[in-house]
Amino acid sequence: MKCKNCGGEIRLEEMYCPYCGSPNIEAQQHARDMAHYQSEFEQTKEEVIDKAGRQSRLAVRITATALLLLAIAANIFIQSNSYEIGRMIRSLHSSQTKNEYEQRINSYLDAEDYLGFAAYWSNERIYSSDYLPDSYFGLYRVATNYRYACQEIMRLVNHDKYADMDLAAKHCASYVQEFYESLEPDNYDMQKISSEPAFMQHIENMETSLEAMYITYFSMTSEEAKSMRELSQGNRTLLIERGTEKYRQEAADE
C-alpha cells in the first residue's frame, strides 16, 4: 500500500511511513480493531466459562476452542481485508465530512489566508482523495512550503530567540528553495494544479506575498525579489544571506 502523504510504499503493520514519518492511518485503525476484538473475545470467553459452571470440563474446553477458532478465522479475515474495510469506513466518513472540509478550505482560499489553509488541512489530516480532488491536495503541498518559508523568515526577524543565526539563515534559504521547487512545471503537485486557473492565481498570490517579505525584511530590490523564482539555489541563498546580515549583526551585538 502507499503512504497517503508522500506516496511511498509502506506495509500495513508499519505505524508510521518510513519515508516521511506520517502516521499510517490504516495500521493505527487495524491495531485499534485488533485490540477491541481481543477485548471482546476475552469477555465472551469469561461469560462462556461462567455459564458452563456445571458442564463438564471437556465441554468448556470444546466451547473455548471453538471460540478460539472463530477468533483466528476473524483475525485472518480482518488482516486480509483490512485495507478495504478501512477504505469503506473512510468512504462513509468522507461523505459526511466532504462538504464541511470543502467549505472551510474555500473560505481560507477566498480570504487568501494560505497559512491558515495549510494549518487547517494539516490539523484535520486530510490525506485521502476520498475527501477532496487531487488539485486541492497539490495546492495544499505548495501552501505548506509557503507556510514554512514564511515561518523561517519571521524566525530570522525575531532573532532574539535563536542563537545560531548562520544556521537560521541556511534553514530559511532551504525552505524558500523548497517552495520554488514545488512550482516547477514537472513537479507532481503543479501538474495537479495547472488545470485550475483559480488555483494558479493562488500560487501567484503566494509568490507575490513572499516577494513583499523579501523587500521588507531582506532589503531586496523589487527586481531582485521578482527574480527569486528563476535564480539557482546558490544565488537565492546568497541574496537571503546578504539580507540577513543585519539580523546576524544585531544578534551579535546583543
pLDDT at 54 over 70: no
Please state, in angstroms and rounded to a whole number, the distance separating the CA atoms of residues 165 and 105: 35
Whose cell is 478495504? That residue is 84
The string of DSSP codes covering 152-212 is HHHHHHTGGG-S-HHHHHHHHHHHHHHHHHTTSTTSHHHHHHTT-HHHHHHHHHHHHHHHH
Can you tell me the mean pLDDT for 49-59?
60
Q: What is the pLDDT of residue 107?
A: 94
Taking residues 126-155, what's their average pLDDT?
A: 85
CA 41 to chain centre: 35
The full set of domain ranges for the chain reads 25-95, 134-253
More confident residue, 148 or 68: 148
Looking at residue 36, its pLDDT comes to: 63
Greatest mean pLDDT among 35-39, 83-87, 143-147: 143-147
Q: What angle do CA 22, 79, 8 make, to 5 degrees?
A: 30
- Cα 87 to chain centroid, rounded: 18
Residue 52 — pLDDT band, cuts 50, 70, 90?
A: low
The pTM is what?
Answer: 0.60
User: pLDDT for 33-43, tens place per residue?
Assistant: 666 656 665 67
Average pLDDT over residues 143-167: 81
Mean pLDDT for 6-11 is: 71
DSSP track, 73-101: HHHHHHHHHHHHHHHHHHHHHHHHHHHHH
Looking at the chain, the whole-number percentage of residues with pLDDT higher than 90 is 24
